[in-house]
Structure 1
Amino acid sequence: MFDMYLILSGLVLLILVGGLLYTLTTGRFVTARQSEFDAEINEKTRSHPILLNPVFLAYVVGIGLVILFILYHASRI
């Protein structure tokens, strides 16, 4: 039973880390286009563009939840 949870948790963690790396590498290749419909970027977003990215935050929260899941099930045994 423990092995199944460990393997599934490891697979989910691997998928999350792979998706995060793919998102970060893809984001480097995308150029920012300026058009007349672009909103003005505020100072916080300009100084911390990665930290305020909702995709990045979703990965951080997801990885944190997977780690908590692994630790919870590891401590029950």
Structure 2
Amino acid sequence: MPYRVDLSVRVEDALAELPDAGRQEVMEVVATVLVRRDAWPAMGGWDAAVRFGRRSWVVFAAYPDGIDVLDLGWAG
């Protein structure tokens, strides 16, 4: 089943400023989040969760059809 990923404007701007390695790692974390639906926070509410990569993190909220990425970071 395909899921949707929405990026907040803040996240789109942050991704654009990352070097290629950072952008790649963040997108890998997002992909991991999508396949680990059991790790999603409660859907449709104000709950959010954080998923970590080697040097990055992604904050997201969940909905029945996908996730909203609210914030991200990369320690490069």
* Structure (1 or 2) with the larger CA radius of gyration: 1
Structure ranking higher in helix proportion = 1
TM-score, normalization by structure 2:
0.34
Write 1 or 2 for the structure with the bigger share of strand.
2
Higher relative contact order (CA 8 A, sep 6+): 1
TM-score, with length taken from structure 1:
0.34
